[in-house]
Every structure is written in structure tokens, then in C-alpha cells.
Structure 1
């Protein structure tokens, strides 16, 4: 029971996100629903072709308990189509407009590494958060733009870029290397006055299967950064390879991995399947509650 109590104490810390003036309390784990405005994201069911499809998927996710919708227009899987900034904006704009009109109270994150996209989507649609797979390494203007916007910023670790990240990734020690990486990025962000920061280890982004599972097993090491921790492992290849299956059949494995992430301190889960993730959080909270009572 002592281990559960220790896990529970992690969520007594005062992590929160300021989402357009609404404070999202992270004392309990939260769920982000993935909406991909792309033709080539790795999981077909997350793709939407038009604003109507996005509204339909978003409505389902919100009804199932999603706290934030994470909308992206560029696939980051290896070999995905590269698109211009203009095309990314053209894909996002009608979808974000439809979501803001239909769900005006909904918190929206945009998954982009481009500062110009982040700036326009905030100015035009009032997005609440930016989720950057490159942590500012692919656009030198991103950090200064985020300082200007003053909204939460998710920084993810990726070795290389989406085109080459899986070509023999190497680390001295994957956990220590990522801790050093995040420490340096966070130091730079704080010098710019950016404090609403979330870290994401970047499962599947420049990591072998062994790297991914070492990160999951030692996820608690990232507590020393004293920042909210987001985990994106939903239906990824680390699950499919371990089970010998494909993304369409990886829900059970995803749920198991989500529980492991929660037990090691994840504050946010970025998911394709909101209902199952919300239920996983509920079971996790029951474990923590019961463990802390010593029953």
C-alpha cells in the first residue's frame, strides 16, 4: 500500500494549466482527444476530412469526457507527406472555426511545430495551448512566439526529425539524456517568461522499442523537473510490436500502457479513445484513493 500512497502524493502537487482564463486542475489526470485533419495519420479513425467530421468526432470525445481537443494538420509518422505552412493553415482554419462555433467552451490545443501557425490560430480562433513535437528545434521563432502568446506550451522530445527519427536512434542513457534535454529547453523558456510548460517524452519519436519501454518504466524520473507530464502512447508501434498487432487492434495494449503511465506520474494522456482513457483514469484514482487509506 505504501507505493500507492506515494503515487497518490504526486497528484497533491499544484499543477494546473491556464486555458483561456479557465484553470484546468491537474491534481487528477486529464485526457486530450486527438483530431487529425490529415489524410495520412497512422490511425485511420483519428482522421477527419472536413469540418463536419471534426465536429462529429469532437462531440463524441467531449461527451465521453475529454478535457482538451488536440487538433493537428500534419502527420508526424515516418514517411508522411510534408506540407507547407500555408497548407497546414488551410487545413486547420475551417476545422477550428467549426469547433469554436459548435463548442465555444471547449479547450483546444493545436499540434504544430510552426510559430506562424501557432500565432495565426491563436489570433483567429483563440486556441488555448500549443503542442510542439520539436520543442522549438524545428522553428527558431517558436519560443519567442510562445512568449508573446502566453498560453500553455507542450514540448516534446524527438531525436532528429519525422523523416529520419527512426534511423538507428542512439542514446548514452535514454532517461538521463531526455532529462538533460528538457532541463535545457525549460531553462531557455523560463528566461523568456514562459512558465506554463508541459513535457512529453515523445514515445516513438526517435526511440527503439527498448528505449520506449525504458522511458515508460522510469517515467517517474521526470518528476524532478517539477512540470506536468503528458504521455502520448495511444495505439503506437511500441504497443503494436509488443503484441504483434496493428493500430486498429491495439486498444487493450494502449489501456495497459496508460495505466502504467498513470502509476508512474502522467498528468495528461493524449489519446484516440477517450472513453477508455477516462475509465482508466477512474480506476487509477480508485487505486490511489484506496491505497492511501491503508485499507
Structure 2
């Protein structure tokens, strides 16, 4: 007899089918293999005690603070640990319970509907300025077109072009200067019909710049202000362009001045809910979400957002991650931007594992290779 310990991240359905398990059994057993860890904040103590008993009754468990059973405090935080099958059962049982458990049950059902994306798009970065934090991403008209052609050959799915640095403490640039910087590149893209080869995104929140880009064949607007300007919403809707809603605390000039959150996952989730609602009301159909790595976050905030990226999938929108060569890597492993490729790939692959479907990168070829290896591992 031989016994082998298998990874928890295996393709369990593949193994069960190869074992010869009946089709019905494959579904049942794979549901038992999938496990959820759900943090519930500010639950009524009565609801916590009910959920604890219901969880135990189906084989799951609820971690609660000491004193919960005697209602020491009116509300508690707790952690539910359950398999897919157990969560399915609880999502039905709690619909009949008081103390806010009906709302919890609906959230459990949203979580059960999460489908991690199978395909990942790589978005290459072109900066038409001279102050972007990573000097090798800065291009003028001629070199920009060469870089675009190279990224296309390397396998880029989207190319994001911007004329203003959004690094911490970056200088303010007015819309006229921004348009002056990007216009030659946009004109060349249109003249050579490069938009037939790859999707283009404009990294801007200035309506005049965005309008010019959309007229030049661009199909995506990457807005670091999260569609704060309603005119940007109107442009996305009228051109049927995808809108990237990014979260940023404060402005690029002030965002790293002691960034604070009550609960970062919930705070950013609420921000997205509001902006999605507003965008939809104005006719924006195609929405992508970006948690904004480095935009008003500490290194710990950034790691939390990447580690728990899956939390945002219940919003039903694709997730974009952009950690390429950012200072979070320097905080963990002291390095200059030019030496942060390894850290970049590590962060991006973790985000993809947790649900990201677009990664914004300076290094297209290396990310395409890394994604192929990750996919091969996922298939085993």
C-alpha cells in the first residue's frame, strides 16, 4: 500500500473522474473538498448562537468570541468555516431565521455563485510622460508605437496609454498638457489601425482626453478616480466603452498621507457598490473593478486586498489588478523599480489565483509565460 498527500489546490473533479467515480458522486465529493472561510462582522449575538448551532448540525463550525453563548455583548464578529455543501445547506436554513441571518443567507448564496475566471488578459502599460515612477515605461510617439507593436507580438490583450503620472506626490497636469502628450500616439494608433490588433485603454479621468481616445478607436477607459466625473460616465455609455472603476483614497498628491480604513475589504466593497449603481444608471454596461494597489493604502492594506481578492467577485464584475513594480515590493524586499519584476509576478499570480482576470503590467512577455505555467499547474 502507498499513501500520497495531495495538494488542496488540485483539480479534484479531474482526479475523481480518473478514479472512475460515478458522475453524481463527482459533484457531491468535489463539493465536500471546496472550503469557505467567511468573516461575519457585527452579527446580532442571538443570530451568532443560532448560526453556531446550525453550522454544527451540518458539520460546519462558527468561531465566536468568548461570552457569546451568554450574550456578553449585543453584537459579535465571527468566522464561519464550511465546505461548499455545508454552505449550501446553511444558505437555505438561515433564510428562516431572525437576527439578520436572512441577510447572511443571501450573502452566502452570492458567495456560492462565484465563478473564478478561466481566462486572464494581460494589459501592457505605455506612459507618455517623463515622470512615471518606472522610467522604462516612458515613451514618446515613435518609441511608443514600437513598444505597442512589441507588446502585441508578446501576447498583450489590452494596452493602456496614459499621459499623467499618478504616483504618490506626482505633479498636477492640466488637460491641455495631458492631451498634448498622448495625442501623437493616439493619432498614430488610429492612422495605422492598431486597434484592429489589440484593445486599447486610455488611462485618464479628463473628459477631453477620453473623448479624443474613444474617437481614435479606444474601447476602454481606465479611471483612477472611479468615475467621479459624470461626464466620463456619459462618454463610456455613449461610446459603449468599458469603464475601469478604481478605488483611490484622497488624490495622488495626498493619498499616502496616513491611509486609514475601518475594514478595508468592506469599505472598498461599499465604494464599488455605489459607483457601479451610479454608472449603470447612466448607461455604462461594461464595468471592470480595480482595488487600486498603492492608491491610498499601506503595504498591509495592499497585501490584504490581493490575498482576499475573491471577496469582490460577488459584485459580478471582472477584476483588474495593477501591482507592477510598485513600492509595496520595496517595502517587503528592498529594491528599485527596475529590480521588482520577481515581486510583481508573485503578487499578480496570487491575485489571479484569487479571481483577477486582467493584470496591468510593464512586462508583457514574462507575465504571459508565468500565466501559462500557472494554468498548467491548475490543470493537474
Scaled to the shorter chain, the TM-score interval is: 0.7 to 0.9
Superposition TM-score, scaled by structure 2 size: 0.69
Aligned-partner Cα distance in 1 for 2:348–2:227: 27
The structural deviation recorded for 1:238 is 0.7
- 8 Å contact 2:195–2:218 — kept in the other structure? no
| Deviation beyond 2 Å, 4+ runs, structure 1 | 1-7, 12-15, 99-104
Aligned-partner Cα distance in 2 for 1:253–1:86: 36
* 1:55-104: CA deviation from partner (whole Å, max 9, x where unpaired): 11112111111011100000001222211111111111111121233424
Aligned-partner Cα distance in 2 for 1:149–1:101: 20
Aligned-partner Cα distance in 2 for 1:78–1:281: 29
Aligned residue number for residue 62 of structure 1: 152
The structural deviation recorded for 1:159 is 0.3
2:301 is equivalent to residue 215 of structure 1: no
Taking a change above 3 Å as real, the CA distance of residues 181 and 13 of structure 1, as seen in their structure-2 partners, is: closer
Aligned-partner Cα distance in 2 for 1:243–1:208: 15
Structure whose alpha-carbon radius of gyration is higher: 2
- 8 Å contact 2:237–2:285 — kept in the other structure? no
Aligned-partner Cα distance in 1 for 2:119–2:286: 17
Aligned residue number for residue 248 of structure 1: 338
Aligned residue number for residue 134 of structure 1: 225
- 8 Å contact 2:171–2:253 — kept in the other structure? no
The structural deviation recorded for 1:273 is 0.3
Aligned-partner Cα distance in 2 for 1:253–1:120: 35
Aligned residue number for residue 22 of structure 1: none
Secondary structure of 2:306's match? helix
- 8 Å contact 2:234–2:283 — kept in the other structure? no
Aligned-partner Cα distance in 2 for 1:276–1:143: 34
Aligned-partner Cα distance in 2 for 1:191–1:126: 25
Superposition TM-score, scaled by structure 1 size: 0.88
2:119 is equivalent to residue 28 of structure 1: yes
Aligned residue number for residue 111 of structure 1: 203
Any unmatched runs of 5+ in structure 2?
1-6, 12-33, 36-110
Any unmatched runs of 5+ in structure 1?
16-25, 291-295
Which has the higher relative contact order, 1 or 2, with Cα contacts under 8 A spaced 6 or more apart?
Answer: 1
Secondary structure of 1:270's match? strand
Aligned residue number for residue 41 of structure 1: 132
Aligned residue number for residue 173 of structure 2: 83
Q: What count of residue pairs does the alignment treat as equivalent? A: 274
Matches within 5 A, 1:1-12: 3-5=9-11
